[in-house]
Amino acid sequence: MYLFWHAVFALLLALATFRLIKPNPGSLFILVTAFFGVFPDLDHLLCWNPEFLTKLIPRHLTEGLAFNLRPFVYPCYLHLWLWPLILITATILAKKRKHRELLLAMAVGWGLHLALDGVIVIL
């Protein structure tokens, strides 16, 4: 359910952001945003449990839609707000428009993931 909901919300946010940015970025923006909406869950491989396979796709539509704050994320180092903040800084500093678009897509997707997970840890 976690993979499914992160991917669905990241894709919806990618499409909405794509429509809001003028001039519209390339379609790669949508793919990058959707990918980075799921990417931070790779760090769960550090504490993998075969039981997690049953939690990737929901069995019914509302499964996995609970919201809880997460004040402790270790050993999941990709679940820190530090990374999207670094990407936003890099977006501001980037000189080429294409680089800015892709860095923004990464930050948007990653930030959405952390918001969906209820992460409140910055560092």
**pLDDT 10s digits, 88-97:** 999 999 999 9
Torsion angle, CA of 70/88/48/3, rounded to 10 degrees?
90
Task: With residue 15 as reference, give the H or E element that holds it.
Answer: helix 2-20
Distance, CA of 40 to CA of 108 (rounded, Å): 12
pLDDT digits (tens, 9 = 90+) for 28-70: 999 999 999 999 988 887 888 888 888 788 888 888 788 889 8
